Structures are given as structure tokens and as C-alpha cells.
Structure 1
Amino acid sequence: MSRTLYDKLVDAHKVCDLPDGDMLIYVDLHIMNEYTSPQAFSGLYTKGLEVWRAEAHLAVIDHVNATRSREPHDTESKLLIDNLQSNCSKHGIAFYGLGDPRQGIEHVVVPEQGLVAPGMLIACGDSHTTTYGAYGALGFGIGTSEVEHVLATQTLRYKRMKTMRVTVNGDVAPGVTAKDIIMKVVQVVGAGGANGFAVEFAGSAIHSLDMAGRMTVCNMAVELGARAALIAADEVTETALKGHSHSGQFAYKAESWISDPKAIFDEEFTISGADIEPLITWGTSPDQSVPITANVPCAEDYISPKAKALLSRSLQYMGLIEGQSAQSIKIDTAFIGSCTNSRIEDLREAAKILEGRHVAKGVEAIVVPGSAMTRIKAEAEGLRAIFEAAGFEWRPEAGCSMCLAMNDDIAMDGERVASSTNRNFEGRQGRGARTHLMSPAMVAAAAISGHLADVRDFK
């Protein structure tokens, strides 16, 4: 029987079927951060359980830590960080803490260390674990009780999902990035259009992406509602597996992890790469986006009362008016970072736009490399000098930073941010903060202009 890549991954990790129709699956690698793990360890202690396979877990500090300094910015953050370090020490779990040269955002660190490979199943208490689908691996976020279960048993209760394939065919125009591709997919499929699905991305535009681009696509598949995102393994995957500290630790053959030619998906979408332009979000959901050359929607663009009401609420929160030109939207802050776009490739693309230019007066610009290794590499390439000469603040410590209001990098009420992050919900970057999602290069263009701008004007 022909099978999808998703079905192959699930079948390879199934331990047994359960009486209620679910199954028990084996987890190859479990990743933890300081924010979602404390209650899980407490549960272990209460039940008198031990960690079953300490070598199959990795813990990092990334969500609550400060990025200006290595010192925790408040007592609660310090408690969370110290608690994770103590738990890992007790159970013999690898811990990449502050000051460790391997520390950084979990979904940047794991590929950087060579801890992901085609055919793996990776779980983490963070929804953007879908990132690892870029390698032909099955990655998904789990809750605290599931973190406890995988610590104790290395297994999880799992329900097989429906499958969706999104094919993006053809070449994309210059200036269009992986971030624009996935934002277009979210726009077409809808913010909840993939609820209950595992999504496989296919087509020439997808397979033309480098591994960093593929990770961006799979990372933001969560914004479709998908709990898993996948791209078939190929030569790009094989190349990306080499040269890292833990390369070869997981010995899966890349050529095995593709969907069979006659595999049937429950849903299919096809998008032309030629139809994609650089995009920005105007509203409070990742699917509320328009090309940078377009205008904010008007009520007459929608038919249903519900859609009109959603438009009205989003515009009110964002402080915009119907029909306003996207490029007329002025910004207060430019932020480059997050598990979506803080890799060395992202920094290089932004630096190309910034070199020889300067941030507009009145704009605060911040860049946070996704890991200590990324920062060191970027500094060696001269990227830090370019960012700082352009007026960006270069943060010395890696972390999630301004992606979410969980640390000291919080946008103020009414502050408008051009952001390379993944979510633009109300309050995501701070109470009343207004977030516009876009690619790192587009953030750089906005920082220079003082308003949302077309990166193609800066090439």
C-alpha cells in the first residue's frame, strides 16, 4: 500500500495500538526548556519515578532569559532557570545553560548540533517543534503531562492525524523568501485550515529552498493549525546532516523518508510560486496578510458579517484604517530573531539590506542571534559590524527575546513592531503591542525606511 511520509514516520515509531483507538509511540529525542518542564519533574517526584533514558533528552534555556546580559532579569526567571539545571543534574540530562557555547533557542540549537535526522520522532513542550519536519523528521509540541510521560517512559499516547499536502510550484521572484512562501500558505489555507492535519510541503519552490528556508516553512506550519509539518528528504537534507557535533548519532537513511508516488492525501492545496510577493501581516492573525505593494483590506472585500467584524476588531487593535497603504504604516521598533528567523542565513540576508545604510530616526532596532554559535559565526563574518553600523542593537545572549512577552524584551502598549517572528496575536509581544510579521530582510527594509517597505527597492 502506498503511504505518505507522515504515515511512514508514525508506523516506524508505533510501539502498540491502544484499546481506545490511539497508539503508543516511541520518542527518539525529547527537548525541554525552562518554561514548560518544571511541573513535569514535580510529577515524577510525586509518583516516585525516574527518567528512563536520560541520553534521549536535551534541555536548553531560551524562553525567559535576558538577552542583554547573562544575568536573569528577575527572581522568577532565575528560579525557572535554576530549577531546570538542578533537575537535569539530578537525572543526568544534557543541559545547555547560560554561558554554555551551545546555548540558544531550542529549534536553532538542535539542528546546529546535528541532533535531528530524517526518520526521527522529536517531541518538545513548544508548538514550533514542527521545525524538524524540514529534515523529514516528525516533530510536534506536547503538554506538561506529556513531558512527564516521555521523561518516565520515552513514549507518548498518540492519535494519528489526517494528511494534507501543500504544493508550491515554480520559481519565486527575487526578493521573495521562505518566510513569504509560508505566509502565503497561511493566507491561502487559513489560520485554522490545517487543524487536525499533518502537512507535507512539496513542489519545486519548496525543494529549491536551503535547509534554513525549509525550517522557516515547517516552523510556521503551526500557524495553519497543523501539529506536524514535513518536507521529504533529499540531497539538501543529506548535506545539512554533515559536519555537526552529533552528526551520525541518529542513523536513518534519508532516501527512505519520502511519500510514495501514489500516496493519497486527505486534502490538497496548490500554490504558484510566481504569485507570491513579499508579504506583511496587517492584523492580529498570521493569515491576515497582504503583499507589501497592496493596501489594508476594506469591509467591502468581505461578504460575511463575521469576517467584517473580525476586520473591524483587528484594525482597531492595530490602529489602522481600511484601505490604508501597507507602505504608509510607520513603525517604532524593528526586531530580528526567534526560532523562525534567527539563523545565520537570516542574519546574512538582513545584513545585505543594511550594509551602507542606517536605521531611520526614532526607530529602535534589535537583532538577537538564535544561538551562541550563530552569534560567534556572525561576528566572525563581520555581520555584527554591519548591524551596529546601521544602528541595530546586537544582543550578546541568545533567546526567544521579543518573540513573546515572557522576558524583559517587551513591546509597550501601542508600540508598532516590524518583526521576523511567527505570531501577531493581540498582546503577543506585550500588552497592546502591534506586530507586523515579515521576513528578516523586510524587517531591515522597514528599519531603514521608518515604515513598512518593499525589500525589492533596496536590492
Structure 2
Amino acid sequence: MGQTLFDKIWDAHIVNRSEGFPDVLYIDTHFIHEVTSPQAFDGLRVRGIPVFRPKQTVATADHNVPTIHQDQPIREELSRKQVDMLTKNCAEFGVELYGLGHPYQGIVHVIGPELGITIPGKTIVCGDSHTSTHGAFGTIAFGIGTSQVEQVLATQCLLQSKPKRMKIEVNGKLPFGVGAKDIILYIISKISAAGGTGYFVEYAGDTIRGLSMEGRMTICNMSIEMGARGGMIAPDQTTFDYVKDKEFAPKGEAWDKALAWWKTLYSDKDAVFDEVLYFNAADIEPMITYGTNPGMGIGITQNIPAKEALEQHEQNSYQKALDYMALQDNTEILGKPIDYVFIGSCTNSRIEDLRQVAEFVKGRHKAPHVTAWIVPGSKQVQLQAIAEGLDKVFESAGFFLREPGCSACLGMNEDKIPAGKYCVSTSNRNFEGRQGPNARTFLASPLTAAAAAVTGRVTDVREMLSEPEFVEF
């Protein structure tokens, strides 16, 4: 019997397997940041042990950093304390840190791929749920808790029970105006925010293969939002071309050797998955969420579902979500006035996302009442955007290009959406209070977010596009 891509990588990293116990899994790369690492370092300190393999640990500051005036001291006390502690811990334990002011600083799931640290066939972990992003390169990548961060720092291994395998296949040509973010929001809306629980997902099909690496990262990033342990895509020429010549990617003979192995990383034709789901790209339109979990999404022209259509036991929580969002069931969301637009996060803050938004807003201007933030995912993305003149395009359109960080994705820093305000966000979660206490979040693609900023309301971006210019995303 053939193996799945997941099986091939998992089995190649098993240090020990015993019946009735979790596998001891070797971890190739461990990313850390300021939020989930302090207690782990304290644990090492108490036990008097070092980081086992510091060269395989990469640190950056991202969650708590301000996205303006990064050359000045952080104003929020907790944020400042956590960033300072990361600096202290990395210096003490010999871990490479890409902190504020470093040319490689940025969101952990953006810098790994752009630096060539993320390469096919690896096992990658981080104390952050959206580590699944790295699966776009054909890796087993997943988030871990603080105690597990300590475990990896101490041993470079992790105790893990092998999850079930799911394949999600998407085939067909994407309709005009539809992109990667719409694909994943559509899938989650169909299988629910818990539909992938217990599984590691492999995305396949000609629609997925037609995506850029940035689009693939967006897909894998939100695997966790369907409850999955992670998501992955088999590496192909698109992957190899992206990785080649990156700063820390293999070079010379090492590249040739790595590439030969990477080309074996695919699911065999006779591989067996525990579940297989199929979707038709032609059925997808620009998506937007209306509730308080990413599974509560609809096509931009559809009505919010009627409460009576749900099972009885679902109706109370459904009504609670609509009450929080101040929306009515069985009504359209199209045309709903909005207050903020946030384009950023580890889901949609790469240079391709910024280029797409800049192309759309060029010659346009945001609505007067809308505050529009564009937050690059890394210092390299920021500098590339400036080099290409995108900052001037944004400035002319009334958008504010900030400095890199997680920003308004999670409201742990200074970038918060005020209570009661509506934000169209390219981030990954729309939980109650996620972007600030009592903030209301609509998840959408960068193009849908940009359209909302210009019109001041939830808008079908297809009405504002010239089709020949925007066929592929």
C-alpha cells in the first residue's frame, strides 16, 4: 500500500515508537516568539539545562510589537516586558533572535518561508496555532503549547500521537475575482469550524496546484480554523522555484541532494486517507464571515442563514453570535457599513497581497469614515513594498502602511479595533474580542477588504474590477 505525503514525512522523523504510547518525533525547526516562550525558558532555567540544539531554534518578536515608531520604546507595559524577556532569554541560551530593528524581523510564519528556513520535508513547530502555514511547502508543521515549547527546547523532540489523514481536493478554474482566501473560507463554511478535528489535511487538485506559494500559505494557514492539526500541500516546481536562492535554503550540492528528496514528497496513487472531500472551484465566490467563528461564512451575495434552518441545539449559540455582531439572520450582509479595514496578519501580509491591494486602490481613495491599516508581515516585505512604490500608492489612497507585526489580528498590542466598530479583516479569526474588546470582525480576502475600504461598506469586489486585469490571484 502506498503512503500519503504526511506518512512519508512523519515516519522519517520518528525517533522512537512504542505500542500504546505517542511517537517520539524529531523536530527540524522550532520557531519561537515573545508570547509562548518565557515560561518555557524559565523551565529550562529551573532545571539547569541548556537549549539542546539552539541552531535549530529561530526567534522573532511579532505578537506584541507596535507597528508604528518601532524605533522607540514599547509603550504598553506587558508588551514591552514580553519583548524584553525574549531578548534576554535568547541571549542567555544562545538562540538567534530577529528582534525589533533586525532586517529579518517579522511575523514568524512570514519570515520562515521568505528566508528559506522553511523547506519541504521538514517537521516544524511553534507555540502558535497558525504554524500550519508552513505546510504549504510540504512540511508537517503545527502549533504547540508552552510546555511542549519547553520540551522541544530541551530535547529537539516531541511526544505526539499520529493524527488521521484527510485529503481536500479542489478542482476547476477559479471564477473571476476569487482567490486563495475565498477558497479556504468556503471550505471551512462547508465543513464547519470543527470539521477537521483529529485530522492532518492535505490539499490537492488542480486548483490548489495553480496557486502561488503565497496563496498556498493562505490556505494552509487557516487549516487550524476547521479544527485540523495542520494542513499541507505537496511540493512541486512552484515550491522549488520559490525556495531556490533564499537566504538559508540549501546551496550547490546540498541543493541538488535536497531537491532529489523533495521530488519524492507526494502522496502515492494508492495511498489511503481516512477521509476525502471534493470541492468545485466554480462554486466559490468572494467570501465573508458574519459570525464569531471562521465557519460562519457566506458568499458575498448570499444571505446570512436563517436560524430556523439550524438544528435546535445550535440555535442559541447562533443567535448569540448574531447578537454580538448586531446582525439579523436571513438578511444580506452586502452593503453593511464598516469602520475599519485591516490588511495584514500571517494569513495575508506578504508582498503578493500588498501588490494586489495596491493595484486595486491605485487611482481610488478610501471612504472618509474608514480607517485603513496595511501591516506588512516582515521588515523585508515592508522594504520591498517601499522599493516598488506601493507605500506611495497606499498613501494617495488614504491607506496607512505600518511597520511589521501581528498588529490588529489579535489585539495583544496597540493596534485594536474600538468596541462596537466593524472591521473587514484579512486575518484568520473572528472570535468575540479577537481584535479588541467587543470589536466586530468580518473575515475576507485582501481584495474584498480593499473594496470595503474604498466604498465604506461590505462590497462585491467583482463589481469594481476590470476582468482582464484580475483573472488570477
Q: TM-score, normalised by structure 2?
A: 0.95
Q: CA deviation at 1:48?
A: 1.0
The aligned runs of 1:431-450 (5 Å cut-off) are: 431-450=437-456
Q: Which of 109, 117, 120 in structure 1 is aligned with 2:119?
A: 117
Cα distance in 2 between the residues matched to 1:31 and 1:388? 34
Please name the residue that 1:334 is paired with.
341
Q: Which residue, 101, 106, 109 being the options, matches 1:107?
A: 109
Residue 223 of structure 1 corresponds to which residue in structure 2? 225
1:96 to 95, 98, 119: 98
Aligned residue for 1:58? 58
CA apart distance, 1:22:
1.0
Asked if 1:68 is matched to 2:74, the reply is no
Off by >6 Å, runs of 4+ in structure 1: none
Q: CA deviation at 1:308?
A: 2.4
Contact 1:336 1:443 in 2 (8 A): yes
Match of 1:214 among 216, 220, 226: 216
Give a deviation string over 1:107-147, Cα, whole Å, max 9, x none.
Answer: 00000100011110001000000011100011000111111
Per-residue deviation, 1:19: 5.4
Aligned to 1:20: 20
1:372 aligns with 2:370: no
Alpha-carbon distance, 1:309 to partner? 2.1
- Hey, what does 2:279 align to over in structure 1? 271
> What does residue range 159-174 of structure 1 map to in structure 2 within 5 Å?
159-174=161-176
1:258 corresponding residue in structure 2: 266
Which of 278, 289, 299 is equivalent to 2:297?
289
Q: In 2, Cα distance between the equivalents of 1:263 and 1:399?
A: 40
1:376-435 alpha-carbon deviations (Å, 9 max, x no partner)? 00111111111111111111x210000001001111110100000000011111111100
Kindly provide the amino acid, as one letter, of the partner of residue 278 in structure 2.
T
Output the CA distance in 2 between the equivalents of 1:366 and 1:210. 24
**Contiguous gaps of at least 5 residues in structure 1:** none
Q: Aligned-pair RMSD on alpha carbons? A: 1.1
CA distance in 1, matches of 2:165, 2:289: 27
Q: Choose the corresponding residue for 2:435, options 420, 425, 429.
A: 429
Counting matched residue pairs gives 457
* Native 8 Å contact 1:442 1:454 kept in 2: yes
Could you give the per-residue CA deviations for residues 35-86 of structure 1, whole angstroms, max 9, x where no partner exists? Answer: 0000000000111111111100000000001001113122221211111111
CA positional deviation for 1:307: 2.6
Q: In 2, Cα distance between the equivalents of 1:140 and 1:308?
A: 32
Say if 1:65 and 1:73, in contact at 8 Å, map to a contact too. Answer: no
CA distance in 1, matches of 2:422, 2:318: 18
Corresponding residue of 1:344: 351
Relative to structure 1, the CA distance from residue 303 to residue 150 in structure 2 (aligned partners, 3 Å threshold; closer, same or farther) is closer
* Structure 1 residue 330, shift from structure 2 partner: 0.8
Please give the alpha-carbon distance, in whole angstroms, between the structure 1 residues aligned to 2:278 and 2:82.
44
Whole-Å separation in 1 of the counterparts to 2:245 and 2:331: 48
Using structure 1 for the length normalisation, give the TM-score: 0.98
SS for the counterpart of 1:84 is: helix
- Segments of 5+ residues of structure 2 without an aligned counterpart are 466-473
Q: Which amino acid in structure 1 is aligned with residue 456 of structure 2?
A: G
